[in-house]
Amino acid sequence: MSANEPRREGDAEQKLSGFGLGAQDVAAWRESGLPDSALDEWLTDRVARRPSGLRARKVYGADDVHDFARRAILQALALRRGDHLLELGCGGGLLLRDALASGAWATGIDHSEEMVRLARERAPGAEVQLACAEQLPFADASFSAVAMSVVFFFFERPELVLRECRRVLRADGRIAVYTTAPELRGTPAAPEPLARFGHFYTDAQLARLARGAGLRDVAVDNRRGGQLLTGRR
Ligand SMILES: C[S@@+](CC[C@H](N)C(=O)[O-])C[C@H]1O[C@@H](n2cnc3c(N)ncnc32)[C@H](O)[C@@H]1O
């Protein structure tokens, strides 16, 4: 089918149901009034880039959501009492919840209103704000650690985000970012059409971005396409 040809009745429903979306999501798509050509981008937002709807609440509030990334990040940061973690793109707040359990203070930001609400429910005790990763609403040197789980992929200006992270980190503060390597493009870890709206980096490119943002002790641990970037201010 060419890009200009109208979709058949039911095409949108089929595509949405392939991502576990149901009647409420189909109705939301219809109500959006967007042209058919915008469906892939709308779907990307709905399920991952700015999650919303019942399914998003269920997925991002579930205990096992991205637990592989959460474990890797928490292990790398080794949070203790006295630490203050900032998480960018906190989704349903499970990493914030686990950070609090380690005795640290935890703050999260997300640009999805629904995820901010969910994170406040799932991680009571954390401070969660509606904000964009490119412009963090915090003073310089506010945090001892920064985390990003399965969100870096979506940033249009990754170096700007990393510079913001560096700015809000205290001297010697640490950062851990979990993202998806190019070799996983098109797999369930980064399926199309979502992959088309994201950005993949080789390990070397990721490290270069972090160093370019002024971070030091930069390392990338790539385990079967799951990349853990770590560094320090
Ligand atoms: C795929 S979800 C991951 C959520 C959570 N970190 C996890 O691992 O389950 C990506 C999250 O990042 C948020 N996000 C994406 N781009 C963002 C941006 N520029 N600023 C703030 N939040 C953003 C989305 O709203 C969404 O909640």
Q: Which three-class secondary structure string do you get for the chain?
A: CCCCCCCCCCHHHHHHHCCCCCHHHHHHHHHHCCCHHHHHHHHHHHHHHCCCCHHHHHHHHCCCCCHHHHHHHHHHHCCCCCCEEEEECCCCCHHHHHHHHCCCEEEEEECCHHHHHHHHHHCECEEEEECCCCCCCCCCCCEEEEEEECCHHHCCCHHHHHHHHHHHEEEEEEEEEEEECHHHECCCCECCCHHHHCCCCCHHHHHHHHHHCCCEEEEEEEECCEEEEEEEC
Q: Which residue has the least CA distance to atom 8 on ligand 1? A: 149
The whole-chain average pLDDT of the chain stands at 95
pLDDT above 60: residue 81: yes
Cα-to-centroid distance, 10 and ligand 1 (Å): 29
Q: Which residue has the least CA distance to atom 23 on ligand 1? A: 89
pLDDT above 70: residue 207: yes
Q: Which residue has the least CA distance to atom 13 on ligand 1? A: 89
Q: Confidence class of residue 2 from pLDDT cuts 50, 70 and 90?
A: very low
pTM: 0.94
How are beta strands 127-130 and 169-180 bridged, if at all? unpaired
Q: Give percent above pLDDT 70 in the chain.
A: 96
CB 99, CB 85: distance < 8 Å: yes
pLDDT above 60: residue 74: yes
List the structure tokens of 130: 């509606």
Pocket test for ligand 1, best of 58, 98, 110 (most atoms within 8 A of CB): 110
CA–CA distance, 133 with 164 (Å, rounded to integer): 8
pLDDT above 60: residue 195: yes
List the structure tokens of 57: 């609440």
Tell me, what's the pLDDT at 93?
98
Q: Confidence class of residue 4 from pLDDT cuts 50, 70 and 90?
A: very low
Encode pLDDT of 91-117 as tens digits.
Answer: 999 999 999 999 999 999 999 999 999
Tell me, what's the pLDDT at 6?
43
Around ligand 1, the residues with Cβ closer than 6 Å are 48-51, 60, 65-66, 69, 89-91, 109-112, 115, 132-133, 149-151, 154-155
CA–CA distance, 37 with 20 (Å, rounded to integer): 21
Tell me, what's the pLDDT at 9?
52
Cα-to-centroid distance, 48 and ligand 1 (Å): 7
Tell me, what's the pLDDT at 79?
98
pLDDT above 60: residue 5: no
Cα-to-centroid distance, 217 and ligand 1 (Å): 25
Tell me, what's the pLDDT at 8?
54
